[in-house]
C-alpha cells in the first residue's frame, strides 16, 4: 500500500509517544547500563513504594565503577577543599570533588578551621548539610544523597549540643531507662542537624585500668556493658523496625579486645585466648547485634593472636555475620585500614591493605579517601570480583534507603535551633549527672557539705574555673 502524506502523518502520531518515552528513559541512565523493564519513567530506586531490596538492586545496576567506589568512601577534613571561608559549599569545587557522589561525610558540625576549635551552630550545621545534599541530589548523575556521621559518646560532640556524663559514669547508674532516654535525646539533636550515624556506643569491656580509654566504656563487666549498651542502641535507633527521622544509626565500638591491650597501651595487641574473647569481650556486641538490631559495627585497632581486627575474617565474617546473623554494615575505625600496612605490616602497601580489608568485610573506609580509592585499578584488571564491591555498596545504600534519605534528604534549620541545647534536654543531662555521682566513702560525715563548717572549699582540676 502506498503511503500518502496524510497516512505518514497519522503513523507518526501513533508511534511518536513510544519514541519519545524511550528516549527520555534512556537519558536517565548511563550509556550501556542495564535498565530493567518498567512501564514508568520513574526509576525503581526512586520509587518509595518499592521494597528496599528492589531499590538497591536497581540502583546498583545503573552505577558505574567510579560511582560505586565513592559509596565505600568518606571525606572529613578534606571537605575544606570545597568550602569557602564562611563555611558554605563552593559549587564549582564540589563539582570536582563530589562529581560521582560520596558515601559519607564526617563530622559536619565542625567549623571551617578545626585548629581554632570552633564549630557550627545547630542552624549553621543544618544549612551546611542541606547544601551538600542539594548538590548531590541535584548535580550528580544518579542523585544519591550522603550520610553524615558524628561522635556521640556522651551527647552529640558539637557546638551547643547537650552533653552528659561519660559512659563510665552512665554505667554506674545501672539505669537502662535513663540511658535510653539520654541517647534518644542525643539522636534527636544530632538528626535535627543532618546527622545520620553516631559512632557510638562503645561496648568494649575494660580489663586494664591503665588503658587510656576506660572512660569511654560502661565498665569491666560484660553483662553491664551489654545491658547499658543495648539501652544506648535503642536510644539511638529507636525500637521500631525502621529508623525514623528523629533517630540515627548506632555503631558498636570497637570489636574487639580493645579493653585489654598489652601493658595498658592503647591499640596494643590483645594477648587473650579465644575463650576469653568469647566469654569476656564479645557478649555485649552479640547482645546489641541480636537483641538491638544494631545497624553498624566498627572493628578495633588492635590485634588478637597477631591478626588485626580489620583483617580478621574469623571475627567479622565467621562470628559477626555467620554466628550472629548481622546484616548491617561494617565501618572502619579512623585510618585503621592504612595501618594494616603502616603499623601492623601484614601487607606491603595501602592498596593491598584496601584489598584485604574489603574482602574481610569492611564496607566503608573512614574518615578519608585514602586506601579504597586505590581499588579502581584492582577491579578494572579483574583482580577482584566485582561482586565483592557490589556487596559493600549494597550494604551502604540499604542504610540510606532505610533512613529515607532519597525521599527526605534535608533538615529544618529552625527545628535544629529549637531542639539543640534546649532546657528540657539540659534537665535530663542534669538528672544523669546526679545519678552518676559515686561516693566511695563518706568519712566523718563529710557529705552533704555544710557551708557553715568551712570557710573555703578547694575545687581542683583543669575544669575547676569553667562554668557551664
Backbone angles phi, psi at 144, to 5 degrees: -85, 120
Cell numbers describing residue 84? 569557602
Cell numbers describing residue 50? 518499592
Residue 104 contacts residue 364 (beta carbons within 8 Å) = yes
Q: How far is CA 190 from CA 123, 157, 177, 433, 458, in A?
A: 12, 9, 20, 21, 36
Query: Three-state DSSP class for 147?
Result: strand
Residue 288 contacts residue 252 (beta carbons within 8 Å) = yes
Sign of CA dihedral 412, 112, 80, 150: negative
Q: How far apart are CA 250 and CA 190, in angstroms?
A: 12
- Mark whether 333 is an active-site residue: yes
Burial of residue 211, with CB atoms counted within 10 A of its CB: 0-12 exposed, 13-18 middle, 19 or more buried: buried
Cell numbers describing residue 435? 545519678
Q: How far apart are CA 336 and CA 349, in angstroms?
A: 13
Helix intervals (H) in 49-194: 52-62, 65-70, 91-97, 122-139, 167-173, 176-192
- Residue of 88, 333, 363, 390 with catalytic role: 333
Full DSSP string of 310-345: GG-HIIIIIIIIIIS---SEEBPPTTHHHHHHHTS-
Tell which residue, 346, 371, 408, 420, has the closest CA to residue 122: 420
Name the residues annotated as catalytic.
Answer: 333
Amino acid at each position: 500500500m502506498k503511503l500518502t502524506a496524510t497516512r505518514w502523518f497519522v503513523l507518526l502520531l501513533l508511534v511518536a509517544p513510544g519514541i519519545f518515552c524511550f528516549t527520555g528513559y534512556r537519558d536517565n541512565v548511563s550509556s550501556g547500563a542495564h535498565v530493567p523493564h518498567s512501564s514508568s519513567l520513574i526509576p525503581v530506586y526512586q520509587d518509595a513504594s518499592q521494597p528496599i531490596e528492589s531499590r538497591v538492586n536497581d540502583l546498583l545496576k545503573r552505577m558505574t565503577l567510579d560511582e560505586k567506589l565513592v559509596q565505600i568512601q568518606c571525606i572529613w577534613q578534606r571537605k575544606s577543599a570545597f568550602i569557602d571561608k564562611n563555611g558554605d559549599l563552593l559549587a564549582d569545587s564540589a563539582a570536582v570533588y563530589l562529581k560521582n557522589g560520596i558515601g559519607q561525610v564526617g563530622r559536619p558540625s565542625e567549623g571551617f578551621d578545626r585548629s581554632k576549635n570552633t564549630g557550627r551552630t545547630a542552624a549553621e550545621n543544618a544549612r551546611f548539610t542541606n547544601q551538600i545534599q542539594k548538590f548531590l541530589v541535584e548535580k550528580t548523575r544518579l542523585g544519591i544523597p550522603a550520610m553524615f556521621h558524628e561522635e556521640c559518646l556522651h551527647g552529640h560532640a558539637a557546638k551547643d549540643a547537650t552533653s552528659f556524663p561519660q559512659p563510665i559514669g552512665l554505667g554506674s547508674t545501672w539505669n537502662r531507662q535513663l540511658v535510653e532516654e539520654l541517647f534518644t535525646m542525643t539522636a534527636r539533636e544530632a538528626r535535627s542537624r543532618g546527622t545520620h550515624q553516631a559512632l557510638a556506643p562503645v561496648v568494649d569491656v575494660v580489663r586494664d585500668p591503665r588503658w587510656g580509654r576506660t572512660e569511654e566504656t560502661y565498665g569491666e563487666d560484660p553483662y553491664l556493658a551489654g545491658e547499658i549498651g543495648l539501652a544506648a542502641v535503642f536510644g539511638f535507633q529507636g525500637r521500631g523496625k525502621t529508623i525514623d527521622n528523629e533517630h540515627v544509626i548506632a555503631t558498636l565500638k570497637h570489636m574487639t579486645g580493645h579493653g585489654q591491650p598489652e601493658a595498658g597501651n592503647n591499640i596494643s595487641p590483645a594477648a587473650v585466648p579465644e575463650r576469653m574473647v568469647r566469654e569476656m569481650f564479645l557478649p555485649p556486641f552479640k547482645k546489641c547485634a541480636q537483641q538491638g538490631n544494631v545497624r553498624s559495627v566498627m572493628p578495633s585497632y588492635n590485634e588478637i593472636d597477631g591478626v588485626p581486627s580489620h583483617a580478621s575474617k574469623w571475627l567479622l565474617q565467621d562470628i559477626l555475620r555467620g554466628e550472629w546473623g548481622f546484616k548491617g554494615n561494617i565501618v572502619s575505625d579512623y585510618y585503621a585500614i592504612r595501618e594494616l600496612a603502616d603499623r601492623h605490616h601484614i601487607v606491603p602497601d595501602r592498596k593491598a591493605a584496601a584489598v584485604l580489608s574489603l574482602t574481610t568485610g569492611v564496607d566503608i573506609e573512614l574518615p578519608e579517601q585514602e586506601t579504597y580509592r586505590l581499588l579502581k585499578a584492582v577491579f578494572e584488571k579483574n583482580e577482584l570480583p566485582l561482586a565483592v564491591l557490589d556487596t559493600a555498596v549494597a550494604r551502604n545504600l540499604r542504610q540510606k534507603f532505610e533512613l529515607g534519605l532519597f525521599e527526605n534528604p534535608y533538615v529544618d534549620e529552625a527545628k535544629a535551633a529549637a531542639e539543640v541545647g534546649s532546657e528540657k534536654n539540659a534537665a535530663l543531662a542534669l538528672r544523669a549527672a546526679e545519678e552518676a555521682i559515686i561516693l566511695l566513702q563518706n568519712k566523718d560525715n563529710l557529705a552533704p557539705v555544710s557551708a557553715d563548717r568551712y570557710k573555703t572549699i578547694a575545687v581542683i582540676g583543669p575544669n575547676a574555673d569553667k562554668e557551664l
